[in-house]
Amino acid sequence: MTNDLGMMKCVRILGTLLGLLPGLVPASAQELDGRMLVEASLVADTTAVVPGQPFQVGLLLKMAPGWHTYWEYPGDAGLPTMIAWDLPMGFGTGPIQWPLPHRVLEPGDIEAYAYKDEVLLTTTIVPPENLTDKTITLRAISEWLVCEEICVPGSAELTLDLSVAATAVSANEELFRKFRDQIPSAEPPPYALTWRRDGGQLTLKVEGLEGVGEVDVFPLPVEGQLVNHPMGGVVTDGVTTVTLETSGDLRGVLVVETAAGRRGWFVSSGEAIAASDNPPSAATDRATPDRPGFQIRSPQSQTSLAMALFYGFLGGLILNLMPCVLPVISLKIFGFIRQAGEKPGKIFRHGLAFVAGIFLWFLGLGVIVVALKAAGSEVTWAFQFQNPWFNLVIASIVFVFALNLFGVFEIVLPGRTNTALDGVSSGDGYAGSFAQGLFATLLATPCTAPFLGTALGFAFSQSAMVILVMFAAVAFGMGLPYLLLSARPGWMKMLPKPGAWMERMKQFMGFPLLATLLWLLYVLGNQKGLEGVIWAGSFLLCLALACWIYGAFCGPLSSGKTRIVSIVLIFLIVGWGGKYFLAGKFAASQRVESVGNDAGGIAWQPFSEKALAALLAEGKPVFLDFTADWCISCKYNERIAINVPAVRELIAAKGIVPVKADWTNANPEITAALKKFGRVGVPFYVIYPAGRPEDPITLPEILTENIVLDGLRRATQ
C-alpha cells in the first residue's frame, strides 16, 4: 500500500461550493454518467475553536446504494481512504479514527473490509493556546476508491471555516455519536480471550458472550504480513472460536453484535497492543513556522516515515566511508585535540560545534527543498521516474560523477573560495570548529550527490517538518563518527591511515555509479526504445568529451586564454549535443512494444494508441483489457475467466492479439481511451473483430469463462 497515493494522484479533483453552514463545508461530489457515487464533506463537533481545546473534525463520505469505500485494512483488494491535512500554523492533528467496517464478499471469494451508505472518519485537531485569529480555515485533500462492479478512484479538496471564541457548544452531536460508538476501544474487552497457535493457525477463544448474537475479527496485519480471513464466530452457550492462518503475532479488532448494536475492541495475540485512538497532545505533532501542518495520514505512513528516516541516517553514515570524506575524520579529530589541549571535555565541545556545522549545511539544503515545494513543486520520486527526460538528466549526472571518480576531471572549489574557507576554519575557538564542520561537508558534497537524489525524492512528497527532520537524520548519520571520536579520542587508532589506497578506492567507487547508469539506460529503453538509448548514449559521449577538456585544459596550471577557449568549446559541444541528439533524435524516439507472457501464460502487449491503431489497421482481432492491480473485479475476472486454459488456447488458435492497458498507476493515454467509451473506471473489456474495428464488442464488468469465449469467437467468425 506504500504507493496508494501515487495510484490515485492523477484523479481530477471535483469541487462544488454549496454555501457555508456552521460546522459544515461545501461538499465535493464524485459522479459517474450523471449518477452521484460519493459525496464528501467536512463536519466539526463544535461551533467554534477554543484556543488550546482539542476538537474533532470528520470526513463524511456518503456512497450511492451498492457502492462502498474501504477500511484502513481493505482486505483482498482495494485502497483505504487517504486524508492530507493542511492546517494553520501551530495546529496539531491526530490519526484517523476508523469506525467498524463490514465484510463485503465479491464474486470469486474476494473479500473486502468496507463501508456502505455513509462513513465518518474523524480526526482530533489541537489548536494552539495563543490563538489570536478571529476565524480559522482547515483544509484537507481526501482520496478514496469506491467500488461496485467497477472501481472508480475519487478525490476532493475540502475546507472548513470555524470562528474562534472563548467558549463553544457541540455541533453535529447525533452524527458524531453514531460513529464514535463504532470506533474500536483500546480498553480490554469485557470477555475472556484465549489465543492458541498450532503451526500457522491462530485460534481465538472468546468466553462470556451471553446476549451476543455474532462475533467477528477484522485483522490489522503489519506491512508484509500474510493473513487469511478469520473463520467462525458462531456463539454457542456464550462461547465462540475464531481461527485464521498467519505467521507471527496478529493485531486486529474484535467485534461483537448485540441487540444494542456493534462494538469493537483492539486485540492482539502478542503481549501488548498499540492504541490507535489516543488524541495528540499539545506538545506533539504540531505545525511549526516553516510547516503549515500538511500531513498525510494513512495506516502505512508512520512505517514509511520511520524507514525513510533510517535510510537517511544510514546514507549519512555511509558518506563517511567515501574516499573524499574519510581522511577528514582523522585530521579534524586531531585538530580538536590540538585546540583543546587534550582535555576530554573541551574536545567533546569542539566535536559538538563541528557537528553543528554539518547540521547547518544539511538543514540549509532542507530549507531549499521547502522553498521549492512552496514554489509549486509537488512531485514524487516515483512520478519523476515515469518521465524519460528526468531519467536522462539523472543518468547524465551519474555519468559525470563517475568520470570524476575515475579522474577524468576534478570537482574543486575556486582557489580564492577554498583559501578563504580554509582560513576561517583554522580558527582556534568553537567558531573555528563550527566552520570546519561546514567546510568538511562542503568538500563532501560531490560524494553526496547520489544520496541527496534519494533524499530529495522522498522530501518532495512530504511536509516541511518531515523534510527538515529527514535532512537532520542524514546530518546525524554523517556527524556521528566525528562526535564519537571527539568523545573517545583513543578510538582514532582504529581508523585507516591516509595513503595511496584512497585513490584506488575513489576509482573503484565509479563502477557502482556506472552500474546505476546501466539501470537508468534500461529504464530509458523501456520508455523510448533502443533508438532512445543510442541517442542518449551519444549525448553522454558529448558530456564525456566536455569533461575531459575541462580536466585537461582548465586546471590551475593552464593559462587564462586556454581556460576561456576550453570553456567555450565545452559549451559548444554540450549545446550541440543537446540540440541534435536530445531535442531532435531522443525526443522523436518511440518504444516498439514487445510481447511478454504474464503469470497466466497470455502474451500480453502493453497498450498504446499507436500500437492499437497499427494492429487494427492490419485487420487483426484484438482483445483489450483495461485493468489495475487495486481493482477487485479485475482480479476476479483474471482469475476466473481470462487466464484459463480454454481462453489461452482460443487466443493462440485464432491469432487474437491480447493488449493490456494497466491503469494501476496514472496513465493519461489509458484514461483518454476509457473516456472514448464513456468509461471512467476499470474493469473494462473491448474485443475488436478481425477486419471490423468500427464494430467493437464490449464485455460486462463481471466475466465468466463462457462470456469471454463467446466474445472471442464472435470476433473471429
Question: For the chain (length 717 residues), average pLDDT per consecutive 10?
Answer: 32 29 48 83 94 94 93 88 88 91 77 93 92 90 87 88 93 93 90 86 89 89 81 87 85 90 89 39 33 32 53 69 50 51 68 84 74 53 55 81 81 49 50 67 46 47 71 82 73 56 70 76 75 90 93 82 90 92 85 49 88 90 84 77 91 92 77 74 86 85 86 87
Task: Tell me the C-alpha distance between 714 and 604, whole Å.
Answer: 20
Containing 537, the helix (H) or strand (E) segment is helix 510-553
Burial class of residue 618 (count of CB atoms within 10 Å of its CB; 0-12, 13-18, 19+): exposed
Question: pLDDT at position 666, please?
Answer: 61
Question: C-alpha cell of 295?
Answer: 500531513
Question: Residues 248, 74, 276, 238: what is their CA dihedral angle, to the nearest 10 degrees?
Answer: -70
| Long-range CB contact pairs, 197-201, < 8 A, 24+ | 197/269, 200/245, 200/246, 200/247, 201/243, 201/244, 201/245
Question: pLDDT at position 456, please?
Answer: 46
**Contact present, 90 and 149 (Cβ < 8 Å):** no
Question: pLDDT at position 665, please?
Answer: 61
Question: pLDDT at position 124, please?
Answer: 92
Question: pLDDT at position 540, please?
Answer: 93
Burial class of residue 14 (count of CB atoms within 10 Å of its CB; 0-12, 13-18, 19+): middle
| Three-state secondary structure call for residue 706 | helix
Rounded alpha-carbon distances, angstroms, from residue 54 to 57, 368, 620, 661: 10, 33, 64, 47
Is the CA virtual torsion 513, 514, 517, 518 positive or negative? Answer: negative
Q: How many CB atoms lie within 10 A of CB 68?
A: 22
Q: How many CB atoms lie within 10 A of CB 170?
A: 13
Q: How would DSSP label each residue in 193-248?
A: EEEEEETTEEEEEEE--TT--EEEEEE-PPTT--B---EE---BTTEEEEEEEBSS
Q: How many CB atoms lie within 10 A of CB 516?
A: 18
* HEC assignment per residue over 105-160: EECCCEEEEEEECEEEEEEEEECCCCCCCCEEEEEEEEEEEEECCCEEEEEEEEEE
Residue 60 neighbours by CB under 8 Å, 6+ apart: 40, 41, 42, 43, 118, 119, 120, 175
Burial class of residue 653 (count of CB atoms within 10 Å of its CB; 0-12, 13-18, 19+): exposed
Which strands, in side-by-side order, build the sheet including 622-627?
596-597, 603-606, 657-662, 622-627, 684-688, 697-699
For 54-96, write each residue's pLDDT tens digit: 999 999 999 999 999 999 999 887 889 999 898 888 888 888 9
**Contact present, 130 and 140 (Cβ < 8 Å):** no
Question: pLDDT at position 627, please?
Answer: 84
Question: pLDDT at position 288, please?
Answer: 32
**Contact present, 244 and 230 (Cβ < 8 Å):** yes
Task: Tell me the C-alpha distance between 679 and 33, whole Å.
Answer: 8
Domains of the chain: 4-180 (2.60.40.1250), 192-268 (2.60.40.730), 300-385+413-502 (no CATH), 509-592 (no CATH), 596-715 (3.40.30.10)
70 pairs with which residues across the strands?
Answer: 114
The pTM score is: 0.48
For 94-104, write each residue's pLDDT tens digit: 889 999 999 98
